Homo-oligomer: A and B are copies of this chain.
Amino acid sequence: MSVTTAAAAELRLERLREDVRDAGLDALLVTSDESIAYVTGFRPLQLERLFAVVVPAAGDGAIVVPALDEGQVGGAPSVLDRVVYDAGSNGLPELLAALGEARAVGVEEDHLVYGRARALADAGRGLVPAAAVVMGRRSRKDAKEVECIRRACGHVADAISRLLEDLRPGDIERDVNARVESRLREAGATATHALVLFGENAANPHGEPSDRALAVGDVVCADVSACFEGYWGDLTRCATVGPPSDWARRAWAVVREAQAAAIEATRAGVPGRDVDAAQRAIVEAAPELGACLHGAGHAIGLAVHEPPFLVPRTQDPLAEGMVFTIEPGIYRPGVGGIRLEDDVLVTSDGPELLSALPLELTEVPA
């Protein structure tokens, strides 16, 4: 599943080690699935058992892994010491040993759970929030990663096209979602998330697919994401069953304009909140059509949602190599929701779409 070679992972480890030194840390503790995948090429199946990679300011570092997963880490960089623990341990004594004398330990504060943080602190380690150190690297994708995201977008675009072609009145929401995910799995996806919602259900951006049947006059909001070769694509398109209502046509036009404005703003040096502001100004100018319930989008890569987030509180500037979903929407309770989502790369020449799927408001035959 991973496109990351041991050599590429080793280079990433070396760069992170420099960042660890620059941040004045003794070591960095990498614990999230995606960050572990970034520095090892191995994506853990994290359940209750601790996985971690220790990146020390000096020295080679270690990967701490449960015994039952040892067979999986063979491809990780050989510079990493393998620290394997069995079912008799919760992994923390082994992790502390792997941390050695490190006192100032950077952690992924948006992943490490409080129980483990507390155990590390009780053992005399000073924890320093360092998700930004890891994401400083992960957020700027290299050419190979960009191509993976582009390929994932291609698969997702195919899935949405086929879905919208096949849709007919009477189709059941739950079945339609199952079918989309099945096809993506059969195309090689290792993880999928389909959220195809009908009519008033689409007024909840995270509504749950139900037994509702597709009816003439419904809007359809089809948000589909899938992971291929370790990287995600995430796209949304909309349709109506029969000709669009006045509301659907107007809402779609507003969202289309908001998306174009936000994509145009997706440029190096621009604070994340400005991308959000670009879509928000347009969506919020049409309150009679519905509400603006979320930000402009989120970064995407090894995780389907990862920082930076394009929301009003994000002041950090965008940088070349970052990839974002741009996905404004408008939602009207009892009626429906319209959202348009594409994945956009920040380049020195401006925004580059990684997905090529017509934006049109598809009309499903009534």
Q: Which of A103-149 contact B (CB under 8 A)?
A: 107, 109-115, 117-118, 127, 129, 131
Q: Which of A1-54 contact B (CB under 8 A)?
A: 1, 45, 47-48
Q: Which residues of chain B are within 8 angstroms of A114 by Cβ–Cβ distance?
A: 107, 109, 112-114, 117, 127, 129
Instruction: Let me know if A87 and B117 touch, CB within 8 A.
Output: no
Confirm or deny: A100 has a beta carbon within 8 angstroms of a beta carbon on chain B. Answer: no
Q: Which residues of chain B are within 8 angstroms of A207 by Cβ–Cβ distance?
A: 71-72
Q: Which residues of chain B are within 8 angstroms of A185 by Cβ–Cβ distance?
A: 177-178, 181-182
Q: Which residues of chain B are within 8 angstroms of A309 by Cβ–Cβ distance?
A: 48
Instruction: Let me know if A87 and B294 touch, CB within 8 A.
Output: yes
Whole-angstrom CA separation of A87 from B293 in the bound complex: 7
Confirm or deny: A208 has a beta carbon within 8 angstroms of a beta carbon on chain B. Answer: yes
Residue of B nearest to A42 (CB): B208
Residues 63-83 of chain A, each 1 if its beta carbon lies under 8 Å from chain B, else 0: 000111101100000000000
User: Besides A86-B293, A87-B293, A109-B118, 7 other CB < 8 A contacts?
Assistant: A45-B206, A69-B206, A113-B113, A114-B117, A118-B129, A178-B186, A182-B182
Instruction: Let me know if B208 and A313 touch, CB within 8 A.
Output: no
Min C-beta distance of A235 to chain B, whole Å: 17
Q: Which residues of chain B are within 8 angstroms of A47 by Cβ–Cβ distance?
A: 305
Q: Which residues of chain B are within 8 angstroms of A204 by Cβ–Cβ distance?
A: 68-69, 71-72
Min C-beta distance of A185 to chain B, whole Å: 4
Instruction: Let me know if A294 and B68 touch, CB within 8 A.
Output: yes
Confirm or deny: A94 has a beta carbon within 8 angstroms of a beta carbon on chain B. Answer: no
Confirm or deny: A311 has a beta carbon within 8 angstroms of a beta carbon on chain B. Answer: yes
User: What are 28 contact pairs spanning A and B, CB under 8 A?
Assistant: A47-B305, A48-B305, A48-B309, A67-B293, A67-B294, A68-B205, A69-B204, A69-B206, A86-B293, A87-B276, A87-B293, A87-B294, A87-B311, A88-B313, A107-B114, A109-B114, A109-B115, A110-B113, A113-B113, A113-B114, A114-B114, A178-B182, A178-B185, A178-B186, A179-B186, A181-B181, A181-B185, A190-B208
Whole-angstrom CA separation of A114 from B72 in the bound complex: 28
Q: Which residues of chain B are within 8 angstroms of A157 by Cβ–Cβ distance?
A: none
With A48-B309, A175-B186, A182-B178 in contact, is A115–B129 under 8 Å at CB? yes
Q: How many monomers of this protein are in the complex? A: 2
Residues 288-319 of chain A, each 1 if its beta carbon lies under 8 Å from chain B, else 0: 00010111001000000101010111000000
**Contact residues of A with B, CB < 8 Å?**
1, 45, 47-48, 66-69, 71-72, 86-90, 107, 109-115, 117-118, 127, 129, 131, 174-175, 177-179, 181-182, 185-186, 188, 190, 203-208, 276, 291, 293-295, 298, 305, 307, 309, 311-313, 333
Report which residue of A86, A87, A185, A204 has the largest number of chain B beta carbons within 10 angstroms of its beta carbon.
Answer: A87
Q: Which residues of chain B are within 8 angstroms of A127 by Cβ–Cβ distance?
A: 114
Q: Which residues of chain B are within 8 angstroms of A87 by Cβ–Cβ distance?
A: 276, 293-295, 311-312
Q: Which residues of chain B are within 8 angstroms of A208 by Cβ–Cβ distance?
A: 1, 72, 190
Residue of B nearest to A280 (CB): B87
Instruction: Let me know if B206 and A68 touch, CB within 8 A.
Output: yes
Whole-angstrom CA separation of A291 from B179 in the bound complex: 39
Q: Which residues of chain B are within 8 angstroms of A175 by Cβ–Cβ distance?
A: 186
Whole-angstrom CA separation of A110 from B118 in the bound complex: 11
Residue of B nearest to A90 (CB): B313
Instruction: Let me know if B182 and A88 touch, CB within 8 A.
Output: no
